[in-house]
Structure 1
Amino acid sequence: MTGRRLADLRTALAGLDPMPGELVREREEVPARFGVSARYAKWAGTPAPPPTGPGPAVLFERVGPSGRAVLIGLYGTRRRAAALLGTTPAELPHRLLAAVAAPVPPVRTRGGREPARTLLAPDLTALPVPVLTGEDAGPYLTLGAVLATDPDTGVRNLSVHRMCVQGPDRLSIWMVPGRDLEAAHLAARRRGANLPVAIHVGLGPAVLLSSCCPTSLVPAGVDELAVAGALGGAPVELTDCRTVAAECIAHAEYVIEGELVGDVAPENPRGPYATPEFLGYQGRAHPGLPTVRVTGITARDGAIFQTVSGPGHEQSVLLGFGMEAAVLARLRELDAPVRAVHCHTAGGGQLMVVLQWRSKRSPADDEAVRKAAESVLEEFRMAKLAVSVDEDVDVESDADLWWAMTTRLQADRDVAVLPDRLGFPLDPTQSPAYSPTVSADGRTAKAHFDCTVPYALRDRFHRPRFTEP
């Protein structure tokens, strides 16, 4: 696909149509409440509850009551996610690093190139926003990418956040503390103003993947849209919102325009839960969250509403590639002999990091590998488990990873524990209620499993190579 095509979700979908088993089109009408999630559950993949497994992207062509289309599962396998960008899972983190190093700034649309858009009423209830479970606070935008400009710095930020429909023109939004969107919101509040935002649903692969990258990879001051332009091979095209003084991405399927206001509302006034989270557990509702007042909605003709299932493979794939690139960059700075990084979806693409090392050249490499792996656990808050393997282990194969764990590790010498480190509270073990060695919620013991062969014993671990006749 060319960069021009990568900017567009529906063209990416069209590229899947001729590939057997990659895209399923469901023509039977299903309800937005539970219907989309229940039909897709068999393909959701770990950490959704079993039985599940990797599957196709699914386009529900008629989701009631509006009869609009809903897409789920587009990034449901690492191979398909990478293929949408014309690459492989092993190469994609390197492509991200190259895009961050040489960003391509976005451009304004030129006459005649902007897709036709219809201005809809500011009524979220008219959209096919799914409800995943009976415990959810309500319909959720699980893949809404918020574009806003910090009024102090003038820097754009594009990032995905959990947003619950609280009324026809009202969304609650959970912004992880310390992220760029929260900083822009607070800057606007200090000025006594609301923050104009454009919430995009249905974006091209390069743009969406760039929006999911961690700040350690795309730091403050770097425009995610410029990273997306480099990743996709062409500048992202911007246009003006219709009802607020903000920019939006011209090729988005839907743009929900509005303002982040000063009002705070409970995420779920009726119960304790929000919606399923990417680590596989029901998320807890926040007692008070900032809100977005919706001022208008624009949609392309035949717009597709894109979503993800919270406890599923897809969200972990999206988070994992950016994390891999960030870890690779840090290990390169340390001149560590890293060959590849794989952030396993079982850890939500964040908590479990598989590190593949180049062949050891001396006894000193035994200690170098251990120190470098432990530095990843120390420097990346989300990383909880690091697994080190050699070049002959396929990091994309669970069977090969478990084989290495079984035959290349002795627990009393090859497992290092780093107690009471800063972690991530959505993991329910990271709490004093679970372990007295943890000093506060969101802290955790971390571990490195060194499944690399000791340099002195490398000849004893020689794997057979089959020869073609």
Structure 2
Amino acid sequence: MAHEVSDLRSALELLESVPGQMVSTDVEVDPSAELAGVYRYIGAGGTVARPTKLGPAMIFNKIKGHPGARVVIGVLADRGRVAALLNTRPDRLGFLLRNAVKNAIQPVVVGPDQAKCQEVVYKATDPDFDIRKILPAPTNTPEDAGPYVTFGMCYASDVETGESDVTIHRLCLQSKDEISMFFTPGARHLGAFREKAEALGKPLPISISIGVDPAVEIAACFEPPTTPLGFNELSIAGAIRGKAVELAPCLTIQENCIANAEYVIEGELLVGKRIREDINSNTGKAMPEFPGYTGPANPEVPVIKVKAITTRKNPIMQTCIGPSEEHVNMAGIPTEASIIDMVERAMPGRLQNVYAAPPGGGKFLAVLQFKKGVPSDEGRQRQAALLAFSAFPELKQVILVDEDVDLFDMNDVMWAMTTRLQGDVDIVTIPGVRCHPLDPSNDAACSWTIRDHGIACKTIYDATVPFREKQRFIRAKFMEVDPKKWLPDFGA
């Protein structure tokens, strides 16, 4: 790889060296809805309302109301781009992350002289301190509850054991020194840390690092059971790079932050304090979430009291559109790694690959490519699907395909479902299972069988050919040629 990636800036340098992967504009943009509105057309993809498409990452060099600030969006909004940033092939990303989990390298704490994130310091004790003026945080739509930090690496520690972890949460700027923090029930390690601290009557110190190495951003999206409580996902990023992630002590709280981050927010989760998420907008809505719908504003969310913000010189704010392909890759690639690991341990050699496809936002839908090598493998493909649900509990649907189907091409997947699946025998339903509350169909209003919001019917679509019938389902075989003989620039 031409450029070694260790932080956001080196990642952007790499993308700038690859044709078609990075664009920029000097035209001023309003961070309130306009910035996301622009990128929706340029490269958002995912479950964003059409028209949208996959495209390059984009830097906005002039942000209305924030002189000198820059905002980058879409760094991870393309699977090929993620692969380039992690120095692998797009089809091997799940395997790379699976190996990284098994070969974790714990983070290290460096001295203040190496804390690039603290080159500029803003303290809440300053009379003109206002996080809304310091952070050029965008809104996705005009209905959003407020400006959101969507790419914040939230880092905190268990108040009793000292075990630390990093996760990504929905963070809304609510006032000059307060940020609301949304926790999906039971889905994040920091939620357990917060609950324990609050039970003890203690505020929880927390740092939020924005604009970091993409390896950290991907690693932060792992969930149990692959990374149980006490597993620090920064160690996965260390394994990806073959070098420990460097942390630095915060200036105003007893916690660490990512030393080369562009921005760091230092604060404490307050004991017992809750706030209505849309207290400033009164829209009843939060922001667009990965399923493609705007999440409802939570009536009571915990509050972070901000103590300071530190930055690098000329910092770059990193953001994403909630339902974009960026979320698909961040959430989906760790999902793939988790499923690969679970199935491979149970039945080695049969699972060929996994794709957490864009229609599911990286969480709800997985395509499993399974090879039946002997007659006794018949039925094991469905066992693999059941293991996938165990590996990633928020998964709602699994599509099973044979090894001759390109699982990364949803047209090919739909072809397999159309020509190899019979609805009465190849669709397996598992009702009444806890899934994810952000899927609006997981609600009693949609089915009398659903007892509580967030419960759903998990479904397996078995589009594999019965082993005894494989000879009847051989795809047409074309002559292998090199098209560059006729079109020298083909594939360039």
Question: What's the offset of the Cα at 1:299?
Answer: 0.6
Task: Report SS of the residue matched to 2:154.
Answer: strand
Contact 2:145 2:278 in 1 (8 A): yes
Structure 1 residue runs of 5 or longer lacking an equivalent are none
CA distance in 1 between counterparts of 2:359 and 2:234 reads 29
Residue from 161, 181, 184 that aligns with 1:176: 184
1:395 paired residue number:
407
CA distance in 2 between counterparts of 1:431 and 1:113 reads 50
CA distance in 2 between counterparts of 1:91 and 1:167 reads 43
1:133 paired residue number:
141
CA distance in 1 between counterparts of 2:364 and 2:275 reads 30
1:350 paired residue number:
363
Question: What's the offset of the Cα at 1:60?
Answer: 0.7
1:435-464 deviations in Å (ceiling 9; x for gaps): 112222111112111111111111111123
Question: What's the offset of the Cα at 1:58?
Answer: 0.7
1:348-401 deviations in Å (ceiling 9; x for gaps): 10111100012x223322211122213423663211111001111111111211
Task: Report SS of the residue matched to 1:30.
Answer: coil
1:377 paired residue number:
389
2:21 paired residue number:
22
Is 1:8 aligned to 2:17, yes or no?
no
1:119 paired residue number:
121
Task: Report SS of the residue matched to 2:167.
Answer: strand
CA distance in 2 between counterparts of 1:345 and 1:130 reads 23
- Name the CA shift for 1:80/1:247 in 2 (closer, same or farther; >3 Å): same
CA distance in 1 between counterparts of 2:317 and 2:80 reads 23
Residue from 442, 454, 466 that aligns with 1:442: 454
Is 1:233 aligned to 2:242, yes or no?
yes
CA distance in 2 between counterparts of 1:307 and 1:14 reads 18
Is 1:318 aligned to 2:325, yes or no?
no
Contact 1:7 1:207 in 2 (8 A): no
Give the letter aligned to residue 196 of structure 2: A
Shifted more, 417-426 versus 299-308: the winner is 417-426
CA distance in 2 between counterparts of 1:164 and 1:239 reads 25
Is 1:268 aligned to 2:278, yes or no?
yes
1:329 paired residue number:
341
1:91 paired residue number:
92
Shifted more, 276-285 versus 90-99: the winner is 90-99
2:354 paired residue number:
341
1:221-257 deviations in Å (ceiling 9; x for gaps): 2211111111122111111111212111111010011
Contact 2:155 2:165 in 1 (8 A): yes
Question: What's the offset of the Cα at 1:132?
Answer: 1.4
Task: Report SS of the residue matched to 1:62.
Answer: coil
CA distance in 2 between counterparts of 1:60 and 1:456 reads 57
CA distance in 2 between counterparts of 1:330 and 1:258 reads 37
2:258 paired residue number:
249
Give the letter aligned to residue 156 of structure 1: S
2:225 paired residue number:
216
Give the letter aligned to residue 51 of structure 1: P
1:62 paired residue number:
62
2:194 paired residue number:
185
CA distance in 2 between counterparts of 1:468 and 1:194 reads 64
Structure 1 vs Structure 2: percent identity of aligned residues? 38
Residue from 405, 413, 424 that aligns with 2:436: 424
2:490 paired residue number:
none
Task: Report SS of the residue matched to 1:327.
Answer: helix
Shifted more, 334-343 versus 22-31: the winner is 334-343
Shifted more, 282-291 versus 459-468: the winner is 459-468
Give the letter aligned to residue 117 of structure 1: E
1:61-106 deviations in Å (ceiling 9; x for gaps): 1212113111111111111112110012221211112111111111
CA distance in 2 between counterparts of 1:26 and 1:239 reads 33
Task: Report SS of the residue matched to 1:199.
Answer: strand
2:318 paired residue number:
306
Is 1:281 aligned to 2:289, yes or no?
no
CA distance in 2 between counterparts of 1:239 and 1:175 reads 25
Task: Report SS of the residue matched to 2:62.
Answer: strand
Question: What's the offset of the Cα at 1:154?
Answer: 0.9
1:49 paired residue number:
49
1:71 paired residue number:
72
- The CA RMSD measured in Å over matched residues stands at 1.7
CA distance in 2 between counterparts of 1:181 and 1:158 reads 8
Contact 1:157 1:224 in 2 (8 A): yes
Contact 1:217 1:322 in 2 (8 A): no
Structure 2 residue runs of 5 or longer lacking an equivalent are 125-129, 482-492
CA distance in 1 between counterparts of 2:391 and 2:434 reads 10
- Name the CA shift for 1:468/1:353 in 2 (closer, same or farther; >3 Å): closer
TM-score (norm 2): 0.91
Contact 1:265 1:289 in 2 (8 A): yes
Give the letter aligned to residue 90 of structure 1: D
- Name the CA shift for 1:375/1:114 in 2 (closer, same or farther; >3 Å): closer
Task: Report SS of the residue matched to 1:186.
Answer: helix
Give the letter aligned to residue 119 of structure 1: V
1:203 paired residue number:
212
